[in-house]
Every structure is written in C-alpha cells, then in structure tokens.
Amino acid sequence: MNNALEIRNLTKDYGDFLLDDVSFSLPPGTIMGLIGPNGAGKTTVIKLILNLLRRDGGEIKVFGLDNRSDEVEVKSRVGFVHDTPYFYERLRLTTIKDTVAPFYRDWDEPLFRKLLAEFDLPPRKSLVRLSRGMKMKFALALALSHRAELIILDEPTSGLDPVFRRELLGRLSALIQDEKTSVLFSTHITSDLERIADYITFLHKGRVVFSSPKDDILDRWAVVKAGRDLLTDDDRRFFRGFREREYGFEGLTSDAAAARRRFGDKAVIEKAALEDIMFYLTRGAKNV
Amino acid sequence: MFKLCRKDFLACRWWWLLVLAVYGLNWMFAFRQSLGVMFLTLLLAGGCLAVTFYQDHLHKTEVLYGSLPLTRGRIVRGRYLLTGFLSAGALVVAFAYGSLLRSVFGIDDLRLSLSALGSMEGLTGYALAVAFLAALYFPLHYRLGAGKAVLAFFLSLLVLAVAVPGLGQLGLIPAPLARFVSSPGFLKDIGLGIIGMIGRVSLALGTPLFLAAAVGLASIVLAVSIRLATRFYEKTDL
C-alpha cells in the first residue's frame, strides 16, 4: 500500500533560506507531527505539498501520485488548514462554503452542517466577526467535509482554547481509526503531538533533524541532569545540546542507554519531552 | 471555470454593485462631455474586474483557491471567462442606463451613441477591444502582480498610441489607418473611432469575411495570451 505522503530530497531555495534535501514519509492511518522553531521550513514544506510553491528539486508523492502532474486528483483527496485562514472575510460562513464546496466531487453537505453545529459556528455570521479560534474551527470544518484521506494542518491549534484543542486532537485521533486517513500536523505546541502523533519530523534551518516514530524518539532521547563536576569536554561532545548553571548542567542525548552507561547513578536521567528536544536542538551545543 | 466565475460573483457582487453605482453617476456627466459609450462600458467591466482582484489581494485568497483541486491554468482561464461575463454584463448595463438617461434627460447624443454601439460594427469593436485589452493585461498581471501590472498595462497602451503613427510613417501599417487612429476625432471618442475603423474594414472585406477574420484574430490573440498568463502563474509562488 502506498504511503499517504512520501517526500524525497525536497529542495527549495529562496536565496536567504534553503529547504535542503528534505525526506520523510507518512504511512496511511497515522498522524505525523511536523515540529521546528519559527523559520525552520514547516510552512514551506506544507505549501510545497499543496503545490503553492514550486520546488527546485526532489519529489512529492501523495497516495503514490505526483503532486504536480496529478494535482487535481491529489488535492481532491487532501483537506488543509492554513496557519492563516485565507477567506473572503466579509462573507457569511455559508457563502464562503459555497465558494469552496463546488470544487470537491465528494463534498458532504450534511457533514458540513453537522460540523458547524458541533463547533458552535453560526452559519449566517460573517467570518470577520469571528475570533481566530472560531475561524480555525471553520477552516477545519471545510477541511473535513469532503472526506479527505490526508489532512494537512499548519499550526491549527494556535489561538484555540484548551478545551477545543483537546476536542480537535480527539477528532484527529478518531479520523485515523479507519486506517486510511492520515494527518500531517505542524505545530509549536509539542504537548499536542505527545498526545496523538505516531511520527515526529523535526525540521531545523530547512533540514530534517529526524523523522521517526514518536515512541522511538521518546524512548531514545533523554535529558541528563548532574553536578558540573561531572561535566568533561568529552561529555560536552556527547550531548546534542546542554546548558550549564552555577551548580549543575542539563544535557540532551539521543542515546539514553549510552547516557546511563556513562553517568550511572551519578546523574538524573529523564525521558526527554518533545519540547526539550526542540529546545536543545535549536540551541545546539551552546551553553544556554 | 464557471464555478470560479460563480465564486467571484458570490465574493464580489456587492462591490460590483458599488462600481455600477459610481459609474452610473459618471455617465450622466460623461455624455455631456462627449466621452464614448464604449469607453465607459469598458471602464465598467474593468472596474468590476479591478475590485475582484483587489478582494483577492486583500484576503490573500490565491492561497486558498490554489490549495483547492484546481490547476493554475484553470484559474487563469476562469479569469478570462469572468472578463467575458463582466464585459457582456457591462454592455447590458450600458443599454439599460443609456435608455434610462435618454428618457429622463432627453440627451440626443445617447441615441446616436447607443445605436452605434448596438450595430454589428459596434458589438464587434467592443468584443475585439475586450479581447485585446484582456490579452494585454492578464499576462502582465500574472507576471508582475496586480499593482505593477496596472502600471505596465497603461504604459503599454501609451506606447501603442505613440507607436501607431510612427509605424504608419515607417510603412509597417497602412498609412490611412495610422492617420485615422491618431486623428483628434478618434481620440475624442475612441469607441466611435473603433466603430468607424471596423466599418471601413468590414466594407472592404465584406461582412462574413470580416466577422470570420475578427473571430480568428481574437481567438489567436487570446490563445497566446492565456498560454503566456498560465505559464507565468505556474511559475508564481503563492
């Protein structure tokens, strides 16, 4: 069975920013979190998948189809939520829907109505009068109403209240239960991904740092905390990132087992959260 | 493509009405100053198209519609089709406004202007003008973006206006045609000038041949323009 999404050696050169040799794949029926600091290239990757940007090199396959030569077929099966809702804001929600729905062959009007009701969205209200969170909910309702097999969300939870965020995560988890629908989800809120993601792809400065199953990452990566007297130059090289304080240091390693062997009982070794990994890797081996 | 036009109608209908209202006011004064009915009708269609592009630009909707199951080519062709619809709508409005103003104010010039526009030469001239202007504008729009394209469009028209007499003097186009196009009468009322010019060509070729040539010419110009505009848009990052 084809991967829902397969990206190979993807390159996009803006002059002052290079998306360099990005490769990862998303199996069907799974959720992938795309994480990275601001300017890492997450939105660029998403826009390249949707063929909003022209790639300079590499390959993007969605359901085994090329995203450029099979653009219409691919996009018919993809639902998207952009980081900013690009709608005609003065129109009512139902009118906006009328400008979008006719382009989807599998548009499900009863489902759209149901989602509006579930999200407490007033159909006759204009978009400009809604909060950012409500706009995101509306974008999500549109994305889910044509029975897409791949849902791409660019920072969908920013601006949402915690209650709806949790509801959204629950809904995304439910979506993949058919083992056919997949979700690519870019976010800064890494705790969201720890709840629902099966795979994590970490981008930094336009390059993939890792793309692995979430459980592998959380098993392998660890934060080591110990007194400064334990820290040698060799240890500094061992860590992917660390910070020193007056009385001690904290370091991130991608090999928890090696850390246990190296420090034994002299250090506290904790599982790294995604946020820790993002923090330390973004800062590199600096004393942060 | 009809779906794209419907989308634009839903998104911009109230703005188009606003343009209509503003142009309605302009008409009353314009006719007294002998500005052409065809010119104003083209302006009405162009005004509606301009607010449509402005709405797209304001809300950055190109990203949204670029993400839908549509090719860039289809989006571009949708704009040409919309131009056709708006131009046809503007023509209907022109006759409606003209008739209304004529009956209310009794402006006699209107009878002449409207009957000239409604003639075979007038309608052909209008269609050719729309095709030519659209063919010139859209590649610029998809290459340079809306702001710079408008500037480049009017600059191109200016260059053409200056170039025609020069081309006539060089013998690259028939001198009588060049003289006629650059005459004060033509420039005073471009619409009537175009109609007059078409009348002469139609008389020389015969109506059936002239109509076939007009359709052929418009088709070729539009086909080249659509191809160029699509190529430019496909290379644009949204």
3-state secondary structure of B98: helix
- Which of B11, B61, B68 is nearest residue A103 as measured by Cβ atoms? B68
Nearest CA in chain B to A12: B237
Residue that has been written with the tokens 């085994």 in this structure: A64
Contact status of B115 with chain A (Cβ, < 8 Å): no
How many A/B residue pairs have CB atoms within 8 Å? 65
Interatomic CA distance for residues A200 and A188, integer angstroms: 12
Instruction: Please answer yes or no on whether A86 and B70 come within 8 Å at the CB atom.
Output: no
In chain A, helix, strand, coil percent, each to 5? 40, 30, 35
Distance from CA of A247 to the nearest CA of B (A): 51
pLDDT tens digits, B188-207: 666 667 777 787 778 878 88
- Any idea which of A169-178, A203-212, B69-78 has the lowest mean pLDDT? A169-178
Interatomic CA distance for residues B117 and B120, integer angstroms: 8
Distance from CA of B222 to the nearest CA of A (A): 25
B37 phi and psi angles, rounded to 5 deg: -70, -35
Instruction: Please answer yes or no on whether A52 and B11 come within 8 Å at the CB atom.
Output: no
Does the predicted model carry a pTM greater than 0.80?
A: yes
Contact status of B238 with chain A (Cβ, < 8 Å): yes
Which residues of chain A lie closer than 8 angstroms to B235, CB-CB? 54
**pLDDT for B70 beyond 90:** yes
Contact status of A95 with chain B (Cβ, < 8 Å): yes
What ipTM score was computed for the predicted complex, to two decimals?
Answer: 0.84
Write out the two tokens for A164. 């709806």
Interatomic CA distance for residues B110 and B114, integer angstroms: 6
Instruction: Please answer yes or no on whether A52 and B67 come within 8 Å at the CB atom.
Output: yes
Taking Cα atoms as reference points, which of A149, A159, A211 lies closest to residue A183? A149
Residue that has been written with the tokens 């009701």 in this structure: A117
**Chain B interface test: which of A45, A47, A49, A52 (most B C-beta within 10 Å):** A52
- Cα–Cα–Cα angle for B34, B37, B41, rounded to 5 degrees: 140
Q: Where in chain A is the domain with CATH 3.30.70?
A: 221-283
pLDDT tens digits, A88-129: 988 999 999 999 999 999 999 999 999 999 888 999 999 999
CA-atom Rg of chain B in angstroms = 19
Contact status of B50 with chain A (Cβ, < 8 Å): no
Interatomic CA distance for residues A70 and A67, integer angstroms: 6
Question: B66 with B75: CB under 8 angstroms?
Answer: yes
Write out the two tokens for A197. 């993601």
CATH of A5-215, one of 2.40.160.10, 3.40.50.300, 3.60.15.10, 3.40.630.30: 3.40.50.300
- Which of B60, B61, B70 is nearest residue A103 as measured by Cβ atoms? B70
Distance from CA of B66 to the nearest CA of A (A): 6
Taking Cα atoms as reference points, which of A170, A179, A178 lies closest to residue A140? A170
3-state secondary structure of A192: helix
Torsion sign over Cα A158, A160, A165, A168: negative
End-to-end Cα spacing for chain A: 45
Q: Which of residues 2-31 of B touch A (CB under 8 A)?
A: 3, 6-7, 10-11
Q: Which of residues 3-62 of A touch B (CB under 8 A)?
A: 47, 50-54
Interatomic CA distance for residues A79 and A76, integer angstroms: 8
Give B165-176 as a DSSP string: HHHHHTTSS-HH
Instruction: Please answer yes or no on whether A82 and B3 come within 8 Å at the CB atom.
Output: no
**pLDDT for B74 beyond 90:** yes
Q: Where in chain A is the domain with CATH 3.40.50.300?
A: 5-215
When pLDDT is cut at 50, 70 and 90, the band that residue A195 belongs to is: confident
**β-bridge mates for residue A183, sequence order:** A31, A151
> What's the confidence (pLDDT) of residue B34?
45
pLDDT tens digits, B170-193: 766 666 666 666 666 665 666 667
At B56, the amino acid letter reads D
3-state secondary structure of A242: strand
- Which of B64, B69, B71 is nearest residue A86 as measured by Cβ atoms? B64
Instruction: Please answer yes or no on whether B59 and A52 come within 8 Å at the CB atom.
Output: no
Write out the two tokens for A281. 């890797």
Which fold is adopted by the domain A221-283? Alpha-Beta Plaits (3.30.70)
